Amino acid sequence: MSVSMRDMLEAGVHFGHQTRYWNPKMGQFIFGARNKIHIINLEKTLPMFNDALTFVRRLSANKGNILFVGTKRAAREIVAEEAARAGAPFVDHRWLGGMLTNYKTVKQSIKRLNDLKAVLADENNGYGKKELLDITREVEKLERSLGGIKDMGGLPDALFVIDTGYQKGAIVEAKKLGIPVIGVVDTNNSPEGIDYIIPGNDDSSRAIRLYARGIADAILEGRNQSVQEIVAASAEAAAE
């Protein structure tokens, strides 16, 4: 999928925050102000978004895993939906401290989630009603926190983050581990420490949908490219 300047305008990607909340480090990406709202320069955003998509395609073609992170209300549903469409892991409820830096413990919690789900699926599990209710509640709690990463299988190769200010904890952990970050950065946040900056509105659901859909499409395109290369290589080997 390719995104045009018109797509970005229609999604409101260019609308930043009120001028009094601006972060001066975003100055280079700001076109000007209208009615005390900063306007983001889409002539900068579009190529930077395309750079991020190229990186994602390449990573996906090499079997890399991109973790979607968007836990604020406007992003949750979209992030979960687009990540699931791309078969990618996601965090849409709350970022738990140590999700990356203490992944060993997170893995144990994921194992517990899977074990408890197996108990609920077994009709002859031998538990009483009250115990089953407690197990169901624990499963729901774990599913909310870890459901999106339960099949991740290891640390991700990159993070895609909606609202870098809101998701500071995730970014700090990724930087500690040398995991590259693709981030949507609005005019009230700092672009520092973000490897692939997408200067843009991080509050509008239409804008969030545009970013998330673009990243999901790039993952699928990269994976498809990888499959095609494997098929072509197999055909060549068979012909020799």
* Judgement on whether residues 108 and 95 belong to the same structural domain of the protein: no
Average of per-residue pLDDT values in the chain: 94
Give the range of the structural domain holding residue 110, as residue numbers without chain letter: 101-151
Nearest to 62, CA basis, from 229, 226, 232, 186? 226
Share of the chain above pLDDT 70, in %: 95
* Judgement on whether residues 25 and 136 belong to the same structural domain of the protein: no
* Judgement on whether residues 169 and 203 belong to the same structural domain of the protein: yes
* φ, ψ for residue 16, nearest 5 deg: -90, -155
pLDDT surpassing 80 at residue 234: no
* Judgement on whether residues 218 and 163 belong to the same structural domain of the protein: yes
- CB neighbour class for 30 (10 Å; exposed up to 12, middle 13-18, buried from 19): buried
Q: Once rounded to an integer, what is the mean pLDDT over residues 65-75?
A: 97
| Cα distance between residue 170 and residue 174, in whole Å | 6
Residue 190 tokens, joined = 């700092």
Give the contacts of 36 (CB within 8 A, at least 6 positions apart). 18, 19, 20
pLDDT of residue 123: 81
Query: Using an 8 Å Cβ cutoff, are 189 and 163 in contact?
Result: yes
* Judgement on whether residues 143 and 67 belong to the same structural domain of the protein: no
Lowest-pLDDT choice from 128-132, 183-187, 226-230: 226-230
Kindly indicate the confidence band of residue 226, based on its pLDDT and cuts at 50, 70 and 90. Answer: confident
CATH at 123: 1.10.287
pLDDT surpassing 70 at residue 62: yes
DSSP H helical ranges for 19-102:
42-61, 73-85
Looking at 114, 130, 151, the residue that finishes a domain is 151
Residue 122 has what DSSP assignment? Answer: -
* Judgement on whether residues 173 and 113 belong to the same structural domain of the protein: no
